[in-house]
Structure 1
Amino acid sequence: MNATPPPATPPPATPPVDALPAVTPPLDAVVVGAGPAGLYQLHRLRELGLRTRVFEAGGDVGGTWYWNRYPGARCDIESMSYSFSFSPELDQEWVWSEKYATQPEILRYLHHVADRFSLRGDITLNTRVTRAVYDEERHLWQLSTDTGESVTTRFLVMASGCTSTVKDPGIPGADSFAGPVHHTARWPREEADFTGRRVAVIGTGSSGVQVIPLIAEQAAELTVFQRTPAYALPARNRPLTAAEVTEWKAGYPEFRAAQRRSKGGSVCEMPTRSALEVGEAERTAAYEAAWQEGLLSAILRSYTDILVNEEANETVAAFIRSKIGSIVDDPRTAERLSPRGFPFGTKRPCLDTGYYATYNKPQVTLVDLRETPIEEITPKGVRTADGREHLVDVIVHATGFDSVTGSLLAPDIVGKGGVTLREKWADGPVNQLGLVSAGFPNLFTVTGPLSPSVLTNMVVSIEQHVEWITDCVAHLRSNGITEIDATPEAEAAWTAHVAELASGTLYPAADSWYLGANVPGKPRVFLAYVGGADRYREACAASARDGYTGFTLSGPPA
């Protein structure tokens, strides 16, 4: 079955608000998405006694961990850290089995959370919100779903995820291939067997780095099509011992508090020196220690200037390229796998579990698309610019997502004055504190654009956003306020602040999905706040303390 996602269709014309049927009485809140963010937001809103519904496009809860079930899928943050902190009881009762949990284990954890806190009763599965229109007179959102249901709600929380909208590979002839086609972000529920087959994997980002070694164990031939080589660091994954788990659990209260105070949601010592202050031998020893540690953040936190100084960054990049050369037997292949032309860390680094060593297998071939780009997919395989047709039985696309903004722009969201969110964000997202975009009142985004989100431990950032939104809604209700909107002035100032901070780093030097560069036609805007989760948390808290500065509070409607 061809599982490549279909191209996006243009949004329907926007009918007037009064053409949309309403439900009486309206709900207090609707949450879009039942991944970690949606589950926690539902839990907190129900604690307020709000009538809340969650709409989830998937067949079960889990969000990205429901959809991304490809072989080798696992988190790149340690399991004991990548988990909810809001319930000390949950911390103590759940036992993680590995340093880096696999997708099935993370999904079981999220199912446990949904069941333990009795959340499923308010979650509607297999239902996608397709349209949301703001009623300015009543301060309500009117929603439509792909199942034909219409719902009215005071508050709308988009917990739809940063990596949930699949990027179309965009390769000519993609629909002509006669064999099975899979996408890592929409993997079939049944096991895909590659035994004895000729397989093509297109893409070498995080999902490609994870899936390629496991496909290579089965396939008779594996051809990897690489456009941009990835910086991949060894995971050093292993089972957790009972003693380690016990120690973690004993220290969880202090650890969780430290997570919330940290810059990235992970607890670690922060560097104090420049990479250029020390000699080469000392620097190499520090990088080697980080390489052996098996944490993505270990090398990045070795020195203060790795993400802000090109010369300092190159010392890390050269070290990693030397490691690739020591692992991969063929020098030409090793060079093709060695990233050049963009700084380390400016594209999300990957965790390697046998990735580079896979290219030493005789049945694995690397095709460098910088040398011979793909021209088309044919019924029998993949044709490259050198005229060669690579004959394969199965194609796997590991081409990633329309990240951060894709899931927010997928529905037709219509705000004040009939302006759509797509129109408002035509040149890139703008909002106040990454939470509310002016002209779209009562619409909150969890870990959306211009917040720390993808540069942090996502669970920590999710909890911070959900708790801020929940406290805000409680404040509004207790004071008889029915509408909160961002002020255009605060929105402009925050958007400029986020851009200014990013410009002081090396991040804009890479054509990455952080900038939307992987999606043709997407505005080139750095999508995350680089100032640190700690600094961001304080900015959000300060706004709330001062009566929600940067926002306009009004209502009830006349």
Structure 2
Amino acid sequence: MTAETYDAIVIGAGFAGLYAVHRLASAGRSVLGLEAAEEVGGTWYWNRYPGARCDVESVDYSYSFDDGLQNTWTWTERFAAQPEILAYLEHVADRFDLRRHYSFCTEVVGARFESSSSTWLVRTADGGQRRGRFLLCATGCLSAVNRPDIAGADDFDGEVYYTANWPHDEPDFRGKRVGVIGTGSSGIQVVPIIAERAESLVVFQRSPNYSVPMPNRPWTEEDVRRIRAEYPERRRKAAYAPAGTPHTSNATPLAETAPRERWDALTERWTQGGVLFSKTFPDQLTDLAANDVAREFAEAKIRDVVDDPRVAEDLIPTDHPIGTKRICTDTGYYETFNRPDTTLVNLRREPLTAITADAVHTSAASYGCDVLVFATGFDAMTGALARIDPVGPAGDRLADLWADGPLTFLGLMVPRLPNLFSLGGPGSPSVLANMVLHAEVQVDWVLDLIEFVAARGIVEVEPRRDAAGEWTDHVAAVADNTLFPRAQSSWYLGANIDGKKRVFMPYVGGFGVYREHCDRTAERGYPGMVFTTR
């Protein structure tokens, strides 16, 4: 069967995928988008569980490349919920007529680079094949569902749901005993809502996480006018900022501030809400003594909210400095455990032993359930691309190339896999930054490189192994100068996936610093690359 050849194939229809398709089409390149879902949205298509919400302010978690788009779309609230983010991406697809480039309900199951044509042959679950000169993998850093292997899980007779792949028809929890397994971001967001709807709720917690209240509110008409007037300056500040948003840390290290001053600053950030609490002071994630002050502040807040002292202590992490695992955001999470119909089970004290037809069993008790919700997250950052397992021209498989942890050049390219680009993956700031601006920066860099090689008759481009090794070593060294590696249970290291190599994956040097590395590489003519001409 002969496969049609495109200049580029883009896998994914989330923020990065849609922007990549738009840029390629606008540049006159033939492009095909492949998406497993039936519509655009990426992570925000699948993650539709009750309470799903972004922890970056809506006006920043949006495209900046088009002023018309920016100034005609009106966000309704400070932190957008999943339905509004999905509606925004659908609007973008409409505005730029992007769906015509996509094949939906098309799952990619493999890809191989063929030297004879210098193209990627992409295989899909329906038996089809497509061919592209360049392969842009916008597969998402939080998209490969983690389905833990728990004894007896298949024997459960009740309803089973995964927050990472929530059904379109909202489940009815009324009059039902619900068990939620997992207390990461999705668990923390969904628990308060399920508790309000169910007859009873049992939360099974292995690793507690810090969560900061999200003081969400609707944007007023005055807010909208102000934000639109401030957008140029807001985007300018975000362009090279540490997290890709206009918000920065206090300039003075915590260690150099007076106790009253530091307490006031932490209180202000706590009141503002969101993940920025971990960046109140610039030394908060590098100096353990400074981190302890912020940690003790947060723990005091938890104890103030939770009535039962033992439950409060169970909800407080003891295995990592605050902020070294992504701080979650919530609406009434801790308050939920004051309800008489909600029970917290500490799986470190009473490990989960099995699931049967109508119950979850631990070493200490059995908990009857009619519904199980697995808030067990993702095989993050590498999982989606690893499941495709692309194969290079010499037979090198991604699984082998990354056997000792992900090896990348700028978090964008992999040696031995020419003409392949990984967007939002390991070796880049990824989940530590505003993913929308992150997507724009990476896609723009990739498009510039594609134009660079096309103008010179280059048919294959890949990073040298030593160049990728230097970047990967740099990613590790920067992380080692922070407190992040102390969170040994973090999915930043792949600790939530059995058998996965424990390597710190995101680049913690800051989004702005990362962008400067990308800029310099392009300005210098892409040193560290291998170019092949016919």
TM-score bracket, normalised by the shorter chain, equals: over 0.9
Structure 1 residue aligned with 2:465, among 485, 488, 497?
488
Tell me the amino acid that sits aligned with residue 444 of structure 1. F
What CA distance in whole angstroms lies between the structure 1 residues aligned with 2:140 and 2:270? Answer: 30
Which has the larger displacement, 37-46 or 335-344?
335-344
Structure 2 residue aligned with 1:231, among 196, 201, 210?
210
The answer to whether the 8 Å contact 1:194/1:215 transfers is: yes
What CA distance in whole angstroms lies between the structure 2 residues aligned with 1:221 and 1:45? Answer: 51
1:308-331 per-position Cα deviation (integer Å, ceiling 9, x unaligned): 111111111111110001011111
Residue aligning to 1:287: 266
What CA distance in whole angstroms lies between the structure 2 residues aligned with 1:152 and 1:123? Answer: 14
Structure 2 residue aligned with 1:418, among 395, 398, 422?
395
Equivalence map 1:426-445=2 (5 Å):
426-445=403-422
Residue aligning to 2:355: 377
Residue aligning to 1:10: none
1:341-371 per-position Cα deviation (integer Å, ceiling 9, x unaligned): 2100111111120111111111001000110
What CA distance in whole angstroms lies between the structure 2 residues aligned with 1:295 and 1:142? Answer: 43
Equivalence map 1:109-258=2 (5 Å):
109-258=88-237
Structure 1 residue aligned with 2:307, among 329, 336, 340?
329
Residue aligning to 1:398: 375
Structure 2 residue aligned with 1:520, among 498, 508, 511?
498
Aligned-residue offset at 1:22: 4.0
The answer to whether the 8 Å contact 1:22/1:142 transfers is: no
Aligned-residue offset at 1:431: 1.3
What CA distance in whole angstroms lies between the structure 1 residues aligned with 2:302 and 2:212? Answer: 10
Secondary structure in 1 aligned to 2:255? coil
What CA distance in whole angstroms lies between the structure 2 residues aligned with 1:23 and 1:219? Answer: 51
Secondary structure in 2 aligned to 1:416? coil
1:185-244 per-position Cα deviation (integer Å, ceiling 9, x unaligned): 011110111011100000111000100000011111100001111100011011111100
What CA distance in whole angstroms lies between the structure 2 residues aligned with 1:362 and 1:235? Answer: 24
The answer to whether the 8 Å contact 1:485/1:553 transfers is: yes
What CA distance in whole angstroms lies between the structure 2 residues aligned with 1:261 and 1:281? Answer: 31
What CA distance in whole angstroms lies between the structure 1 residues aligned with 2:274 and 2:327? Answer: 10
Structure 2 residue aligned with 1:59, among 38, 46, 49?
38
What CA distance in whole angstroms lies between the structure 1 residues aligned with 2:330 and 2:132? Answer: 45
Residue aligning to 1:531: 509
Residue aligning to 2:53: 74
The answer to whether the 8 Å contact 1:515/1:526 transfers is: yes
Residue aligning to 2:441: 464
What CA distance in whole angstroms lies between the structure 1 residues aligned with 2:225 and 2:282? Answer: 33
Residue aligning to 1:29: 8
1:234-271 per-position Cα deviation (integer Å, ceiling 9, x unaligned): 11011111100110011112211221121110112432
- TM normalised by structure 1 equals 0.94
The number of equivalent residue pairs is 533
Aligned-residue offset at 1:473: 0.8
Residue aligning to 2:280: 302
Residue aligning to 1:38: 17
Structure 1 residue aligned with 2:290, among 293, 312, 319?
312
Residue aligning to 1:547: 525
The answer to whether the 8 Å contact 2:274/2:328 transfers is: no
What CA distance in whole angstroms lies between the structure 1 residues aligned with 2:501 and 2:222? Answer: 49
Aligned-residue offset at 1:461: 0.6
Aligned-residue offset at 1:539: 0.9
Secondary structure in 2 aligned to 1:236? coil
Tell me the amino acid that sits aligned with residue 445 of structure 2. W
Unaligned runs of 5+ in 1: 1-20
What CA distance in whole angstroms lies between the structure 2 residues aligned with 1:302 and 1:51? Answer: 46
Aligned-residue offset at 1:478: 1.9
What CA distance in whole angstroms lies between the structure 2 residues aligned with 1:503 and 1:340? Answer: 20
What CA distance in whole angstroms lies between the structure 2 residues aligned with 1:269 and 1:530? Answer: 15
Aligned-residue offset at 1:376: 0.6
Tell me the amino acid that sits aligned with residue 470 of structure 1. L
What CA distance in whole angstroms lies between the structure 2 residues aligned with 1:228 and 1:144? Answer: 38
What CA distance in whole angstroms lies between the structure 2 residues aligned with 1:419 and 1:480? Answer: 25
Tell me the amino acid that sits aligned with residue 119 of structure 2. L
What CA distance in whole angstroms lies between the structure 2 residues aligned with 1:447 and 1:328? Answer: 37
Aligned-residue offset at 1:432: 0.9
Unaligned runs of 5+ in 2: none
What CA distance in whole angstroms lies between the structure 2 residues aligned with 1:428 and 1:301? Answer: 28
CA RMSD of aligned residues (A): 1.0
What CA distance in whole angstroms lies between the structure 2 residues aligned with 1:360 and 1:345? Answer: 25
The answer to whether the 8 Å contact 1:229/1:336 transfers is: yes
